[in-house]
Amino acid sequence: MENVFKKFQKHSVFSWDNLGDIKEGRGELGEQMPVLVYRLMQFTMMDVLSRDMGDTKANDYFRAAGQLAGTEFAKNVLDLKVAFDVFIASLQKALADLKIGILRMENFNPEDGSLILTVGEDLDCSGLPVTDESVCTYDEGFITGILLAYTGKKYDVKEIDCWANGARVCRFKGSVIND
């Protein structure tokens, strides 16, 4: 019984390798799945966490998970040694190819690293009913993690427009955190 527990512990710590060989494992069904299934997992997880810990803590966990995912995504999918414009172009392509969303850089200030970007057809919220709230805390973390992996700097990324608050795209503002 103890060996089973130890094996479970290994999977409780994220590793890119633990994602497995999806092509081999899903030979018939393939790598694609409906957005409905992703959102079903995401929104039920948020519901359970919110009920158990409150909305603020649940959002903190989603943001932290997004940051871990964004950091690992950047390290494993993107070239972190290219010029900024090349990096953004490759990020745009990767997000579109993986059907995560359509990234557009609206503003970037090279002097202080601040930026504003949009994600159209966002995986997390495009098409949701308007509830006058921003719901993309996972995305805030995901973008934070990508920026951290590329720049080595800590960012504060906040969603300033969301499909769920009536915008037709998700807009994020990122600022470097000066410790």
pLDDT per residue over 121-167, tens digit each? Answer: 999 999 999 998 889 999 999 999 999 999 999 999 999 999 999 99
Per-residue pLDDT tens for 89-125?
A: 999 999 999 999 999 999 999 999 999 999 999 999 9
Helical ranges in the chain per DSSP H: 2-12, 22-25, 35-53, 55-77, 84-97, 137-151
Structural domain 38-176, CATH architecture = 2-Layer Sandwich (3.30)
Task: Name the residue type at position 32.
Answer: Q
Reported pTM = 0.92
Q: Nearest-CA neighbor of 61 among 40, 72, 44, 45? A: 45
Tell me the backbone φ, ψ of residue 138, rounded to 5 degrees. -60, -45
Q: Is 172 helix (H, G, I), strand (E, B) or coil?
A: strand
- Quick one: 83 exposed, middle or buried, by C-beta within 10 A (0-12, 13-18, 19+)? exposed
Q: 20 or 155: which carries more pLDDT confidence?
A: 155
